[in-house]
Amino acid sequence: MDWHKPVGAVLNYFGLEDVTLIGISLGSLLALRAAAWEKRIKRVVAWSIMENFYDVLLSSRPKALRVVLDSLIKAHAKGAVNSLAKAMMEKEPYAAWGIEQGKYVFGQPSAYDFLAEAKKYNLCSLSGQITQDVLLLGAAEDHFIPLSMYKNEIDCLTKVKSLTFRLFTKEESAESHCNIGNMPLALNTVCSWITAMETPGL
């Protein structure tokens, strides 16, 4: 979660003082969190933005299930959460993959531990410390990040130097998560934005 530490180590090693940091998917959240602490980052590209990783993980679930699961996690009901997760995993291959992948990536022994850890990955708690130029890239039909969540991230970024938001659409063949389908368009957008930020007035 303290992504500014490895980022800072890289900047120290190469002696860099003015960089653009690009984060993709969950990396977009990590990049913005790094920028909150590491001011040698002057520009941030948040590609397939998310404000709250835990909310994204549960966004496709029925509201009633989200409420129950959230209550169980807050109550530290580890056994109940793991039992509920096990039932979901046995029924849905997508849920099984997501939970196993999450446990592996986050180094957590159970579904409960993974979800509890995911709750720590949010943006608004640090939003006032992000003061750089920011480019947010979204996808109109992202299967992972609901379109409604984009507003949450935009509303959090109240102290940024500048904020640019680009939503890619089906008509551009870039409506999917991370704009798979038309990566050149997304990359060109990123490059054009970086150039504009580095050379103001052009």
pLDDT tens-digit map of 39-76:
999 999 999 888 889 999 998 888 998 899 999 999 99
Over its C-alpha atoms, the chain yields an Rg (Å, rounded) of: 18
Mean per-residue pLDDT for 14-18? 96
| Average pLDDT over the chain, rounded to an integer | 92
Mean per-residue pLDDT for 167-171? 96
pLDDT at 96 over 70: yes
pLDDT at 116 over 60: yes
The pLDDT of residue 82 is 96
Give 17's pLDDT tier (boundaries 50, 70, 90).
Answer: very high
Give 200's pLDDT tier (boundaries 50, 70, 90).
Answer: low
Mean per-residue pLDDT for 132-159? 90
CA 176 – CA 82 distance, rounded (Å): 31
Mean per-residue pLDDT for 141-168? 90
Q: Beta strand pairing status for 41-47 and 19-24?
A: parallel
Mean per-residue pLDDT for 186-191? 96
Q: Are 171 and 200 in contact (CB under 8 A)?
A: no
pTM: 0.88
The pLDDT of residue 123 is 86
pLDDT > 90 in the chain, percent: 78
Measured between its terminal Cα atoms, the distance across the chain in Å is: 36
Bridge partners of 138? 167
Decide: helix, strand or coil at residue 23. strand
pLDDT > 70 in the chain, percent: 98
pLDDT at 38 over 80: yes
Mean per-residue pLDDT for 84-113? 94
More confidently predicted of 151 and 42? 42
Helix axis angle, 93-106 relative to 111-118, nearest 10°?
Answer: 70
pLDDT at 198 over 90: no
pLDDT at 162 over 90: yes
The pLDDT of residue 100 is 96
